[in-house]
Amino acid sequence: SRVFKIVTIPGDGIGVDITEAAVAVLQKLAVVSGTFEFEFTEKDWSSKKYQERGYYMPEDGLDQLKKFDAIYFGAVGWPVRIADLGPRTDVPDHISLWGLILPIRNALGQYVNVRPTRVLRGITSPLKDCGPGDLDWVIVRENSEGEYAGHGGTTHGAFSHAVATEVSIFTRVGIERIFRFAFETARSRPRKKLTMVTKSNAQRHGMVLWDKIFTEITKEYPDVETDKMLVDAMTVRMTLHPKTLDTIVATNLHADILSDLAAALSGSIGIAPSSNLDPMREFPSMFEPIHGSAPDIAGKGIANPIGAFWSAAEMVRWLGFTEAADGLMAAIENVTEAGIKTKDLAGASDTQTVTEAVCKEIEKVLQK
């Protein structure tokens, strides 16, 4: 069986709990399936270490990551004060994001962030008429430029008249490649439907370029049905007419926001997965739940690990093991259907109980 080298970065808060849970499930999946093995290496890159050492990643951090087959990421961010970290206890969120997750996405060619949603068996959507299998969407997020390009600056002028700019970058190369990925995704799904999201009424430069290039690329995919939405109206459509959507493509910022909404509509932010992909497969791709470090519930052992497991399933799929990935998803849904759920899903189980239940189900589902 093939051995895959996986590097884990648990990070902060519940990132630590859910990464541990995901590793347990992945180990179980490997043993039961028998066709692949995982060799895990952990990196202690976190806000706590940042406070001790002054950096998240060492200087050669990105090069270290390149040696692995995939990256499994928990969450980063520690914006609140807690006792055990010593005198300087908080890290501003823009420092933590730019210290760890954003440089990885940028340097390793991960220009796509794929965020599927679906109401899993046993989970209740806050939307009426949305049962298991509904809200079956794939949000394709542009992951390398746009509003998170990091361009801009601050000037503290006389009399504290501060001026700050936050400049979005949109390039033809960046736009074409994310559209092609989105069209291929839409084409691979039964409904072959793609909705493109912008704010091109107010944002008249980059978003208008999105519109223009979308019209061009649409011609390459005559079998895919397309439509366009403005992002504000999109939140309404997701909530009131969710069944009219399938594959969705949006900018870095817009898709970030829409995918938290999508997660909440499908039951909880705690179940939603994401894949940061380098479609060229030159570098390792990175898999992480979409939620953050959740300082409000950190250290309590009650974080929902489903988003972490679903992300692990997507990693296994990316590495080429479709049957094992589908088996893991079936195991997860058997557990949620049996009512073994965390508090955010109105259940009473803790992280460990859900994890053990999923491991047991993996045996049942895949050991034939």
Residues interacting with ligand NAD, by CB under 6 A? 14, 75-77, 79, 93, 96-97, 101, 269-270, 288, 291-297, 303-304, 307, 342, 344
Q: Which is nearer to ligand NAD, 111 or 321 (CB)?
A: 111
Q: Which is nearer to Mn ion, 76 or 175 (CB)?
A: 76
Give the CB-nearest residue to ligand NAD: 77
Residue 120 binding result from Mn ion, ligand NAD, none, given CB thresholds of 5 to 8 Å by partner type: none
- For the CB of residue 274, give the shortest distance to ligand NAD in the complex, in Å: 8
Q: Exposure string (b/e) for 99-123, b if CB count within 10 Å is 16 or more? A: bbbbbbbbebbbbbbbbbbbbbbbb
- For the CB of residue 353, give the shortest distance to Mn ion in the complex, in Å: 27
Q: Which is nearer to ligand NAD, 110 or 200 (CB)?
A: 110
Alpha carbon separation from 196 to 129, 146, 191, 211, 212 (Å, rounded): 25, 15, 15, 9, 12
Q: Is the four-CA dihedral 30, 69, 186, 304 of positive or negative sign?
A: positive
- For the CB of residue 318, give the shortest distance to Mn ion in the complex, in Å: 20
- For the CB of residue 8, give the shortest distance to ligand NAD in the complex, in Å: 14
Q: Which is nearer to Mn ion, 77 or 347 (CB)?
A: 77
- For the CB of residue 276, give the shortest distance to Mn ion in the complex, in Å: 12
Residue 256 binding result from Mn ion, ligand NAD, none, given CB thresholds of 5 to 8 Å by partner type: Mn ion
Q: Which is nearer to ligand NAD, 91 or 316 (CB)?
A: 91
Residue 14 binding result from ligand NAD, Mn ion, none, given CB thresholds of 5 to 8 Å by partner type: ligand NAD
Residue 174 binding result from ligand NAD, Mn ion, none, given CB thresholds of 5 to 8 Å by partner type: none
Residue 113 binding result from Mn ion, ligand NAD, none, given CB thresholds of 5 to 8 Å by partner type: none
Q: Which chain residues interact with Mn ion by CB under 5 A? A: 256
Q: Which is nearer to Mn ion, 17 or 256 (CB)?
A: 256
Residue 327 binding result from Mn ion, ligand NAD, none, given CB thresholds of 5 to 8 Å by partner type: none
Q: Which is nearer to ligand NAD, 195 or 304 (CB)?
A: 304
d(CA 178, CA 354): 35
Residue 293 binding result from ligand NAD, Mn ion, none, given CB thresholds of 5 to 8 Å by partner type: ligand NAD
- For the CB of residue 272, give the shortest distance to ligand NAD in the complex, in Å: 9
By CB atoms closer than 10 A (0-12, 13-18, 19+), residue 316 is buried
Whether the CB-CB separation of 88 and 81 falls below 8 Å is answered with no
- For the CB of residue 115, give the shortest distance to Mn ion in the complex, in Å: 9
